Amino acid sequence: MIKVCLLGAGNVATHLYKAFKSAQDVHIVQWYNRDLKKISTYKNDVTIIDDISKLSEADIYIIAVSDDAISTLSTTLPFENRLVAHTSGSVNIHDLDKKNRRGVFYPLQTFSKEVPIDFNEIPICLEALDKNDLDILTHLAEAIGSTWYKISTEQRQTLHVAAVFVNNFTNQLYRIAHEISDAKNINFEILKPLISETAKKIQEVSPYMAQTGPAKRNDKKTIKKHLKLLEKENHKAIYELLTESIKKTHGVSSPPRTRKEKSK
């Protein structure tokens, strides 16, 4: 049985709480947050505290707070030589106070409190400075059914950048598509099967091989029509940027722009 103290009340902390609570081999000793109201819903199921000095002994302390708060919170912990791990994709393991044993327990997924998450589908990126501590982290990941990967801080930070591209940037493109379709009273639901198929396809082939569309085939007439249809300049700029990126990736050359075209 792994004894855990959870610190934080955001999206990641809330989903980790639910996963730990459901795991047979995990016991949540306490859930700490400086504002008890944010976790009061769970007060009948777990001991909740807002006084960090009252943290009890546990095998691991999971800090699931905003990146900017991790380092400071780790310095306020009222003990030494215990395993403390953060859940951030971008924070260095050494940003945790060295008075304790340091680790990282980073679930690579997008989290929203209201959307259920299956940790069987979530990879956990682990890092520790000590082999025994890595063993605790791996056992915790396995206890909630996750696949885990031993990854360095540099690798994790690179993964975090890549994740922004496949998640945050992609979602922004969904939002733009929603805005474009809404402007013409088109139901966004029509696009959802395409979104699903696009995501499904890269499970079978590489993103490079999965690429289709007017930019890849250098369909200048269609590209020109699309740009004319786009009413907002920022939408046009994004379309042009991504079109050029696809062309470059697939070796499709664009003719040099004339002085007259550049001045338009």
Q: Where in the chain is the domain with CATH 1.10.1040.20?
A: 157-254
pLDDT tens figures, 83-106: 999 999 999 999 999 999 999 999
Per-residue pLDDT, averaged over 159-171, amounts to 95
**CATH classification for the domain delimited by 157-254, as one of 1.10.1040.20, 1.20.20.10, 3.40.50.300, 3.90.400.10:** 1.10.1040.20
Q: CB neighbours of 4 closer than 8 A, spacing ≥ 6?
A: 20, 26, 27, 28, 29, 58, 59, 60, 61, 62, 140
Euclidean distance between CA atoms 48 and 31, whole angstroms: 5
The predicted pLDDT at position 257 comes to 54
Nearest to 104 by CA among 118, 117, 90: 90
pTM of the model: 0.85
Per-residue pLDDT, averaged over 235-262, amounts to 80
Q: Where in the chain is the domain with CATH 3.40.50.720?
A: 2-151
CA-CA-CA-CA torsion sign (28, 34, 39, 45): positive
How many other CB atoms sit within 10 Å of the CB of residue 192? 11
Nearest to 61 by CA among 38, 81, 86: 86
- Cross-strand bridge partners of residue 32: 7, 49
Euclidean distance between CA atoms 162 and 170, whole angstroms: 11
Euclidean distance between CA atoms 90 and 74, whole angstroms: 16
Per-residue pLDDT, averaged over 235-256, amounts to 88
Asked if CATH classification 3.40.190.10 holds for the domain at 2-151, the reply, yes or no, is no
Euclidean distance between CA atoms 227 and 240, whole angstroms: 8
pLDDT tens figures, 166-175: 999 999 999 9
Euclidean distance between CA atoms 19 and 189, whole angstroms: 31
Euclidean distance between CA atoms 217 and 246, whole angstroms: 10
147-150 and 123-128 beta bridge pairing? parallel
